[in-house]
Amino acid sequence: MINEIRKRPFTRPLFLLLTGILLQIYLPSSIFTWTLLIVGVGGLLVAMHPKIKPLYKYKWVWGAAFSSLLLFLAMQNMKFHEDRLRWNFPTEKRMQVWAQLEDSPVEKNKSILCEMKLLSSPADQKRIMDRRVQVYFPKDTLISSLLPGEKLLLNMQFTPVGQRNEPQGYLHYLRSNRIVATGYCAEYTIIDDPEESSLSLKHKALRFRQRLADQINRLSLPQTAKSTLAALTFGHRATLDKEILKDFSTTGVMHIISVSGFHVAIFCTFISFMLSAFPNTVGFRLIRFLFTITFLWGFVYVSGLSAPAVRAGLMLTFFLVGRLISRRADSYNILAASAFLMLVYNPWFLFDAGFQLSYIAVFFILYLQPRLNSLLTIRNPLLATPRDWTSVTLAAQAGTTPLCLYVFGKFSLVFLFTNLPLAALSTLLIPLTVAWSLVSVGLGYPVWGQEIIELLCRWMLWIVTSFGRIPGASVSFSIGFWEMLVSYGSIGFFLYYLKRRTPYALLVALGCLLIVFVLMLKARFVYAGP
């Protein structure tokens, strides 16, 4: 175990970062924090002493010092982000603020939801600067036509996040997106659209995504299919039909319409395939690398620089760099490195269900998929592809099921029948739609491939709606927090058994599974009441 950790240097700082985040949230203590700083600095001074530095037996002092300092920095970083989520303005009265639209407006049943950044207030410009809020507007307004980056003058009353007893999952979502307050606005003034050059990279990316998504309206498809295709390809879910969204959830393929590592991997694989004809020389390997990186981050850009796409982009970039310098890239170390960077950028990602599901799914795919493939040896590459997709689906589902049951309380019974064909269709549909939209934007009119895209989209929707509306396609089944933790304990010991074939590990895994069943029965029959 220790040797495996040493081979993956990012696992240790990631563990310390996670520990620091959790300590700052659940056990905040300024005395403990500054003690870590003193211990860290003191440890470095001791370790650098001429009489101690050359001695190998005191090497642990370096490790203890750096660990203390990293833990201190992790807690301070979390405290900084906690302070950014504090609302310092009165909530009992209306206020005027200038705000900027951060993303495309989303249509709700009775309103339009916008994520906005507060720019300034006549009362206090400094305290309100760069605070993100969720604002609901009346549905019969011009808000739905606004573009990311446009500015408005709002006259409204805000409610800080956490004061409306939001569900825990939704509260974590708001914090991971740095939302500090919400409110309803009926009085507003739209300011002139700023120049393109004055927009941030994020706003430019979102506007470009909007232009590409608008090209999909040229297709001869029902509006439901167009909105689904925009969500599938670019992550543009502002107009996604709720019934279709429910069907995707029921069939266990929600990840397909949320731009994530799945989409980035498809696009990267497509580019690699297109460039596979290049000779395997040093010069051409560099050319392949530059082309792949360019197109990879180009896709991340057109997806609106969403957090899941950026995570996947970082992981694949680390992998490609390792392969370029002729080093075998350790997938687990890459996974830890990308998680470390994302959590340094925003520690609240740790509590976001999307972040958790993404990394758990990738870990289980890396660990479990090769072992599932070994159960069925297939040498024919055409026949091996369905096996690989099936094993990826099973591995990801095995890892994410406890968390999904805890967060969403739903389990799909048809996921194995839908993931395989939809993954195959998406592998063709996503790159084709991106390329078609880019060419259409460049030329001003649609070109080749329209009929193919329409056909693939119709097949995809037929599969989703056919399986999604089967009676009993999914079951509502929720578990508690402790049940989820014990479930992962059971899975962990079972994976250890698969690797070491240690009987006691299997015994502990079965014991944990028994504990889960006992907890579930206790929750349903003891506390259920009459």
Query: 183: domain CATH number?
Result: 2.40.50
Taken in order 272, 273, 274, 276, the sign of the CA dihedral is positive
Q: Are residues 286 and 172 in the same domain?
A: no
Residue 386 belongs to a domain: no
Residue 52 belongs to a domain: yes
Q: Which of 51, 84, 117 is the last residue of a domain?
A: 84
Between CA 103 and CA 299 the distance in angstroms is 18
Q: Are residues 357 and 456 in the same domain?
A: yes
DSSP H or E segment with residue 119? strand 111-120
Query: In the numeric block, which tokens belong to residue 108?
Result: 């709700």
Single-letter residue type at 467:
F
Task: Look at residues 23, 1, 21, 25 and name the one whose alpha carbon lies nearest to residue 11.
Answer: 1
Q: How many domains does the chain have?
A: 4
Residue 108 belongs to a domain: yes
What is the predicted pLDDT for the residue at 129? 65
Q: Are residues 71 and 51 in the same domain?
A: yes
Q: Are residues 291 and 432 in the same domain?
A: yes
Between CA 510 and CA 496 the distance in angstroms is 13
* Full pLDDT tens readout for the chain, 530 residues: 555 666 777 888 999 999 999 999 888 888 888 888 888 888 777 777 676 666 556 677 778 888 899 999 999 999 988 888 877 776 667 888 888 898 888 888 888 899 998 887 666 555 556 788 999 998 877 888 888 888 888 888 888 887 777 777 778 788 888 888 888 998 888 887 777 767 888 888 888 888 888 888 888 888 888 888 888 888 777 677 788 888 888 888 887 777 777 778 777 777 777 777 777 776 777 888 888 888 888 888 888 777 778 888 888 888 888 777 766 667 888 888 888 988 998 898 888 888 888 888 888 888 888 888 887 777 777 777 777 778 888 888 888 888 888 888 888 888 878 888 888 888 888 888 888 888 887 776 666 778 888 899 999 999 988 888 888 788 877 788 888 888 888 888 888 887 777 888 888 888 888 888 877 776 655 444 44
Residue 158 belongs to a domain: yes
Q: Are residues 220 and 311 in the same domain?
A: yes
Between CA 56 and CA 58 the distance in angstroms is 5
Tokens 């495996």 found at:
4
What is the predicted pLDDT for the residue at 530? 46
Q: Are residues 295 and 328 in the same domain?
A: yes
Q: Are residues 332 and 305 in the same domain?
A: yes
| C-alpha gyration radius of the chain | 25
Between CA 369 and CA 393 the distance in angstroms is 9
Q: Are residues 439 and 313 in the same domain?
A: yes
Residue 412 belongs to a domain: no
Task: Look at residues 263, 273, 348, 366 and name the one whose alpha carbon lies nearest to residue 310.
Answer: 263
Q: How many CA atoms lie less than 13 Å away from 373 in the CB half-sphere? A: 18
What is the predicted pLDDT for the residue at 266? 78
Between CA 445 and CA 529 the distance in angstroms is 64
Between CA 293 and CA 403 the distance in angstroms is 33
Q: Are residues 78 and 99 in the same domain?
A: no
Q: Are residues 158 and 27 in the same domain?
A: no
Within 10 angstroms of residue 486's Cβ, the number of other Cβ atoms is 22
55 lies in which domain range?
2-84
What is the predicted pLDDT for the residue at 528? 46
Residue 402 belongs to a domain: no
DSSP H or E segment with residue 137? strand 131-138
Residue 90 belongs to a domain: no
Q: Are residues 179 and 308 in the same domain?
A: no
Q: Which of 152, 171, 198 is the last residue of a domain?
A: 198
What is the predicted pLDDT for the residue at 445? 64
Residue 409 belongs to a domain: no
Cβ(309)–Cβ(260) under 8 Å?
yes
Q: Are residues 13 and 39 in the same domain?
A: yes
DSSP H or E segment with residue 222? none
Strand, helix or coil for residue 154:
strand
> What are the DSSP E strand ranges found in 308-439?
410-412
Burial readout 388-401 (b: 16 or more C-beta within 10 A, e: otherwise): ebbbbbbbbbbbbb
Q: Which of 31, 52, 84 is the last residue of a domain?
A: 84
